[in-house]
Structure 1
Amino acid sequence: MTTANKLTIFRVILIPFMIGILYIDSLFITQTQFLSMTIGQIIFAVIFVVASLTDFLDGYIARKYNQITTFGKFLDPIADKVLVFAALYYLMVIMPDRVPIWTVVLIMIREFMVTGIRLLAVERGNVIAASKLGKYKTATTMVAIIILLFNDFGLTMLDPNFEWFGNIVYYFAVFFTALSGYDYFMKNKKVVLESI
């Protein structure tokens, strides 16, 4: 098994632990001095960061050391989506004013649409490479989630109005999600139309 695939599997294993933390109520009772976060929030956020780093590392290692495999192509995007959606659903519950449901649904629709188009392309023997807009979407989404999970890194403790910082990054992620989804569809609409 390649190093890249081991990292992907490690990320998959981390996700249930991240979600399981949410069911241990005692971890979410008392706030710590670290960014006014509870122990549960800290553990959840740290697991998300570690899992996100494995996402970057497995892709880098796979490309640099020619470890791209069919298994990795299949599991890596699934692990990424589950990781991001788990974090977004959690944020949507604890801060619905900052992570409204419509944004999470938009992100989900984009991911399902792109996955569907990729499957249609594979049936025709085509491989669709990731676009720059897609990479911007991934980067801004990960950064936005990390900012929100870590209580805006204490900025809102200085002044509640500093919520704008995390909000702007999050809506940049939503913008790139919509734009990359539209771009992806327009560039590959022939694949979709031929399948109808």
Structure 2
Amino acid sequence: MNLPNKLSLLRVALIPVMVALMLPQTLVCDLLAAAVFAVAALTDYFDGHIARSRHLITDFGKFIDPVADKLLNLSAMMMLVQRGTLPGWVVVLILARELAVDGLRMVAVGQGRVIAAGKLGKIKTASQMVMLLFVLITHQPALTAPAWDVVSATVLGAPWMRWISTVLTLWVAAITLWSGIDYFVRNKDCIKDM
């Protein structure tokens, strides 16, 4: 197994660690969960970069990379919805888009075609990761702890930080919808052949 595929599998292996760290909802665990998420998100960049630069692109890599991205992002999103820090409709929108695009990919495979990930899809994934990391850091129940009041009141808990989170969340919803529509428009011939 080559290095890019190992990095993708590492991303998958880090998911239960991140989820376990998010469960206690303490300041230390939340910050560790954010660090684990950041490391996992960085593996997404490095696995693709290494695979392309060293000509190590494999069929397994084409499969596991987007699956690892979806598992990582959706796991973090579900934990944040459970906490009440991320609106459920955002996760429903993202999940619906992913299922629709994966369904289109399966139709294409049945027709002997492969649909590559598009630029908007990559922007969508990166945007989700940035938003999730920001929300993980700034929207923690631990931010209301007395020891955290000074920092919370001045930086992370400031109203403008919540506003940035809202803007990032709306951006993610918009780019998710846009990239899904773009995927179907660019591959409408797959649907016509059904």
TM-score category of the 2 structures, normalised to the smaller one: 0.7 to 0.9
Partner amino acid, structure 2, of 1:122: V
Name the residue aligned to 1:92.
Answer: 81
- How far 1:95 sits from its partner (Å)? 3.1
Instruction: Please state if 1:78 is matched with 2:77.
Output: no
Q: Give identity over the alignment, percent.
A: 41
Matches within 5 A, 1:17-36: 17-23=17-23, 25=24, 28-29=25-26
> TM-score when scaled to structure 1?
0.85
**1:129 positional shift:** 2.4
The Cα offsets for residues 118-167 of structure 1, whole Å up to 9 and x where unpaired, read as 1221222222222222222122111111111111796343x324311121
Is the Cα–Cα contact under 8 Å of residues 4 and 56 in structure 2 kept in the other structure? yes
Q: Partner amino acid for 1:5?
A: N
- Unaligned 5+ segments in structure 2 are 140-150
**Secondary structure of residue in 2 paired with 1:186:** helix
Superposition map of 1:85-124 within 5 A: 85-96=74-85, 99-124=86-111
TM-score by length of 2: 0.86
| 2:50 corresponds to | 61
Alpha-carbon distance, 1:194 to partner: 2.0
Query: Equivalent residue for 1:34?
Result: none
Aligned to 1:182: 181
Q: Which residue of 1 aligns with 2:135?
A: 148
**Following the alignment from structure 1 to structure 2, what is the Cα–Cα distance between the partners of residues 139 and 22?**
21
1:29-80 CA distances to partner (integer Å, 9 max, x unpaired)? 4xxxxxxxx1111121111110000011001111111111111112111111
Asked if 1:39 corresponds to 2:28, the answer is: yes
User: Aligned partners of 2:10 and 2:122: how far apart in 1?
Assistant: 22
Aligned to 1:129, the other structure's residue is in SS state coil
Paired position in structure 1 for 2:144 = none
Contact 2:94 2:173 in 1 (8 A): yes
Q: 2-side partners of 1:149 and 1:190: how far apart?
A: 40
Residue 109 of structure 1, CA deviation:
0.5
Amino acid at match of 2:106: L
* Stretches of structure 1 lacking an aligned partner (at least 5 in a row): 30-37
Pair 22,146 (structure 1): closer, same or farther in 2 beyond 3 Å: closer
Q: How does 1:10-21 map to 2 (within 5 A)?
A: 10-21=10-21
Counterparts of 1:92 and 1:21, CA distance in 2: 16
**C-alpha contact (below 8 Å) 1:140/1:170 kept by paired residues:** no
CA distance in structure 2 between the partners assigned to 1:178 and 1:5 by the alignment: 28
Q: Which has the higher contact order (CA 8 A, sep 6+)?
A: 2
- SS of the residue aligned with 2:77? helix
